[in-house]
Amino acid sequence: MKIKVGTRGSMLARTQSQWLIDVLAKAHPQINFEMVIIKTKGDLVQDKPLDKIGDKGLFTKELEDALLSGEIHMAIHSMKDMPSKLPEGLVLTVPTIREDPRDVLLTPHHISSLEELPEGAVVATGSKRRICQIKKLRPDIELIGIRGNIDTRIRKMQEQKLDGIVLAAAGLKRIGRFEDSAYQTVSLPENMFVPAPAQGILAVEIRADNQQVKELMAAISDKNTRIQMQAERSFLETLNGSCHIPVGAFCEIKDQTIVLYGLYGLEDGSRVVTQSIEGSPEEAENLGKQLAKKCYAAVHQQTGKVYLAGGGCGDPGLLTVKAREILEKADVVVYDALVNERFINDARADAEIIYVGKRAGNHAMRQEDINALLVKKGQEGKLVLRLKGGDPYVFGRGGEEGEDLYDAGVPFEVIPGITSVIGGLAYAGIPITHRDCVSSFHVITGHLKSNAYDGSSDLDWPVLGKLKGTIVFLMGVKNLEKICAELVKNGMNPDMPVAVVHRASTPYQRVVTGNLKTIYEIATNEKITAPSLIVVGEVVNKRQKLRFFDQKPLFGKNIIVTRSREQSSQMVEKINELGGNAIEFPTIRIIPINEAACDQKVDVLSDYSHIIFTSINGVEIFFDSLTRCGKDARAFGKLHITAIGEGTKKALQQRCLRADFVPDKYVGEELVNGLAPLLNKNSRVLIPRSKNARIYVVEELSKICPVDEVQTYETVREDHATENPLEMLEAQKIDYITFTSSTTVQFFVDKIGAEHIDAINTAKAVSIGPQTSKKCRELGINVNIEAEPYTIQGIVDAILKDSQK
Ligand code: SAH
């Protein structure tokens, strides 16, 4: 009985085929195995890079033809040369034991890892898989192409004085050239430098109907190799891989489980991912498929992008224009403790908001988990804004996040931010440099590994003690005493000015100053805690003239704004401009009602002689109705228009309507007195207004002429969760509560709870006018201030005046 074994003619092919024939012959001494050498296209074309020659099956086609024609019974290949799909009628047998699966670097340098290759080293390899992995691990390495058998390549390395070539360990071992005095052999770990699928395994290809050869091979099969081959080949097959695209796989066999590592990328190498999956050996094939799909999705799915952005050091105005742009369109916003929470209001309503910082009782998310989260969201195709306090790279661990995104192939950009080091100091009135005194500055972490006074410090105090520039310590309040002591001990003048700045550029900013001898005690007495900046240097003295922020008239005042979210921005802005802390606690929400009734009035608008708008909402909702009815401002014709309040007047102006009459005071009595002389019994008045409005105006005007009221909106309680200010009220931290209507008073008390009226009365109530004040008194709130005029500006002016008393 004679079995013809086909092989390519290269030395390696012949050696490994002979090896297999020997194993077979030993297991089956009665059978005569004969080697038949067949040349393939891949052997004939030696001068072009493999991926330029053409198709899959470069090293297999002629052997397969011989199998199909019956010229040979089995064909032996390196498994890594096998295309993922075999021709009809051919199959692979179970494999025998695997040779070393790894890739190795051969190099003339005496090194033991890829990392040790010199900067800018020249390494030759033809494989896309190897190229992209080297590029990832060592972007500085220059890569050049190479072809030819093992000997040729080693020779080229020596002749061309290359710094290295990458080859499969298996081939080198089989021909006895794994180690050599002429070069160093550096093995590249399989899970870091993923080998070609099934590298080191010999493929035995036969006709599907050849039962006899199948059995011969079954006798020498190896279980673990079979599992590895199943997993790795199934990965390759699912990806339909060829030598044109970077593909690698390695299956690690553990005790009970297997871990499959897969590498996959685009043909041009612009996107490459390495991922892994773990499961039981029985699922090998399935795991290969799953991992392939995962890698494919990661590479081809429209990937998102992650912006590593600085959110500035506290004042919301210190967010960059670019970060705001991304904030407004991001799918996901990931932020931490030092970021101003107000930004979250500006994210898309359907954006996913993820807080990863520390909160009372809650641990911050671990950095690795944050990195993984960013990678995951990016891979899901999301536009991610990673918002960090200050600048992302100033003790912000932004670098680590960027590196992990790079490793995962997720595109990212960095948007620098205003760091507390510079911006926070500025808000404290401290310029980080000044021509008068310093010519440098130094930013140092005060988060010391050892807090003991035993000299085992992780900062170079002798050097720091001699610095002439401004020194800013971050994360240092806990170690303030030690920092000052070390600086003095190491030569710094004990009189050197020091400032500690708590929550710079926020309404809670506090600044204490002293010198190296005194500051610890001062800061301790003042109970200054983190987050704070410690500033050491002459520039601290400049604060006397340069402080501007904590000098603003409403600085340090906490003011609750109870208007609806949509309406509050004007008041919030005015308060913030004056340095106050506007705390938004919306109590009401406006919802349109009776739309059909309103539309009906709009249809017969020309029947009226007068119209009265009592609020911005009234104007907006009436115009919505006009739009619905296909009309515009012309529908008003000669109608006499009354507007109550500056805001209402402006809302009309924006729609190109000028109010004919605006009462001086914004109360019903004033309106009736002013409007009555303009009406006669032929007049007809329309008042589109809130359901909650007073009956008074309608009653009085009806005495003169017909008046139609249409209730176009309703003010309901805002029950959407916002932080409840009760705690701050109880701690007597709220200075003012502003009420802009009786409804806001009612719902504020409802929401806080009538039983907490004493807590509410620890703050000064500011009412917009007599009606609102009346409601306050009814509910037990002491009205301290009433606006004059009855407007938002009036409220703000009244607070300003009161605060300066
Ligand atoms: N990336 C940030 C710094 C992060 S380290 C930046 O560029 O500002 C955290 C430390 O920064 C805090 O412990 C504190 O020392 C400092 N810090 C950040 N914001 C601050 C602020 N508004 N006021 C005072 N210190 C601040």
Residue spans per domain, the chain: 2-98+199-300, 103-188, 305-418, 421-551, 558-587+718-803, 593-715
Transcribe 354-367 into DSSP letters. EE-S-BTTBPPPPH
Q: Which CATH class is domain 421-551?
A: alpha beta
Residue 396 in contact with ligand 1 by CB distance below 6 A: yes
Architecture of domain 558-587+718-803: 3-Layer(aba) Sandwich (3.40)
CA distances from 210 to 35, 215, 217 (A): 18, 9, 11
Cβ neighbours of residue 426 under 8 Å, at least 6 residues apart?
A: 432
Catalytic residue among 39, 293, 358, 650: 358
- SS3 readout for 745-775: HHHHHHHHCHHHHHHHCCCEEEECCHHHHHH
What pLDDT does 361 receive? 61
Check if the beta carbon of residue 150 is closer than 8 Å to that of residue 195.
no
Q: Out of 420, 432, 443, give the residue to mutate to test ligand 1, the one with the largest number of ligand atoms within 8 Å of its CB.
A: 420
**Per-residue pLDDT tens digits for 695-750:** 899 999 999 999 999 999 998 888 876 778 999 999 999 999 999 988 899 999 99
What pLDDT shows up at residue 569? Answer: 83
Average pLDDT over residues 796-804: 95
Query: Is 455's pLDDT higher than 60?
Result: no
The answer to whether residue 80 is catalytic is no
Q: Please, what sign has the CA dihedral across residues 157, 163, 168, 170?
A: positive
pLDDT in tens, 165-184: 999 999 999 999 999 999 99
Answer whether residue 200 shows pLDDT above 90: yes
Question: What's the chain's average pLDDT?
Answer: 91
Burial (CB count within 10 angstroms: exposed 0-12, middle 13-18, buried 19+), residue 26: exposed
Q: In the prediction, which pLDDT does 47 show?
A: 57
How far away, in angstroms, is 516 Cα from ligand 1 center?
21
Sign of CA dihedral 135, 137, 138, 141: negative
DSSP, collapsed to helix, strand or coil, labels residue 531 as coil
Does the Cβ of 530 fall within 6 Å of ligand 1?
yes
pLDDT tens-digit readout, 340-369:
888 888 899 889 999 998 765 667 899 999
Using the predicted structure, report yes or no on whether residue 649 has a pLDDT greater than 90.
Answer: yes
**What is the distance in A from the centroid of ligand 1 to the CA of 251?**
46
Do 347 and 339 contact (CB within 8 A), yes or no? no
DSSP 143-194: EE---S-HHHHHHHHHHTT-SEEEEEHHHHHHTT-SSBTTBEEEEEPTTTSP
With contact defined as beta carbons under 8 Å apart, do 309 and 385 qualify? yes
- Six-digit token string for 776: 């306050």
What's the CA-to-centroid distance between 335 and ligand 1, angstroms?
14
Instruction: Give CA–CA dist 207/88, Å, rounded.
Output: 9
Domain 593-715 has CATH 3.40.50.10090: yes
Give the pLDDT confidence score for residue 456 in this predicted structure. 47
Indicate which residue of 81, 336, 391, 735 is catalytic: 336
336 belongs to the catalytic site: yes
Q: What's the rounded Cα separation, in Å, for the pair 795 and 588?
A: 18
Q: Matching CATH topology for 558-587+718-803 and 593-715?
A: yes
- Cβ of 391 closer than 6 Å to ligand 1, yes or no, is yes
| Interval 473-477 mean pLDDT | 95
Percent of the chain residues topping a pLDDT of 70: 96
- Decide whether any atom of ligand 1 lies within 6 Å of the 309 Cβ: no
Contact 795, 571 (CB under 8 A): yes
List, for residues 289-346, the tens digit of each pLDDT value.
999 988 988 887 666 899 999 999 999 999 999 999 999 999 999 999 889 888 888 8
Q: Is the peptide bond prior to 531 cis by the omega test (within 30 degrees of 0)?
A: yes
Over residues 123-146, mean pLDDT: 92
What does the pLDDT look like over 23-77, one tens digit per residue?
999 999 999 999 999 988 777 665 555 555 555 577 888 999 999 999 999 999 8
CATH number, domain 2-98+199-300, options 3.30.70.2190, 3.50.50.60, 3.40.190.10, 1.10.569.10? 3.40.190.10
As a whole number, mean pLDDT of residues 249-275 equals: 91
pLDDT at res. 302: 66
Q: What is the enclosing helix (H) or strand (E) of 641?
A: strand 640-643
> Using a 6 Å cutoff on CB, does residue 510 contact ligand 1?
no
Cα separation, 792 vs 63, in Å, equals: 89
Position 454 confidence tier, pLDDT thresholds 50, 70, 90: very low
The pLDDT of residue 453: 46
335 alpha-carbon distance from chain centroid: 8
Q: What is the mean pLDDT of residues 661-687?
A: 90
Q: Is the CB of 314 under 6 A from ligand 1?
A: yes
Whether pTM exceeds 0.85: no
Is residue 498 lining ligand 1, measured as CB closer than 6 Å? no
Question: Is the pLDDT assigned to residue 143 strictly greater than 80?
Answer: yes
Long-range contacts, stretch 720-724, CB < 8 angstroms, 24+ apart: 720/586, 720/589, 722/584, 722/585, 722/586, 723/585, 724/585, 724/751, 724/752
CA of 396 to the centre of ligand 1 (A): 9
Q: What is the DSSP letter of 777?
A: H
Q: Which of 313, 358, 510, 511 to mutate to test the pocket of ligand 1 (most atoms within 8 A of CB)?
A: 313
pLDDT band at 272; cut points 50, 70, 90: confident
Phi-psi region of 269 (alpha: psi -120 to 50; beta: other; left: phi over 0): left
pLDDT in tens, 457-473: 578 999 999 999 999 99
184 lines ligand 1 (CB under 6 A): no
CATH class (in words) of the domain with range 305-418: alpha beta
The pLDDT of residue 45 is 64
Question: Would the CB of 444 count as within 6 Å of ligand 1?
Answer: no
Nearest CA to ligand 1 atom 16: 474
Tell me the average pLDDT across 6-21: 92
pLDDT score of 381: 86
CATH level 2 (architecture), domain 103-188:
3-Layer(aba) Sandwich (3.40)
d(CA 143, CA 152): 18
Where does residue 146 fall: left (phi above 0), alpha (psi -120 to 50 degrees), or beta otherwise?
Answer: beta
Name the more confident of 420 and 79.
420
CA of 463 to the centre of ligand 1 (A): 24
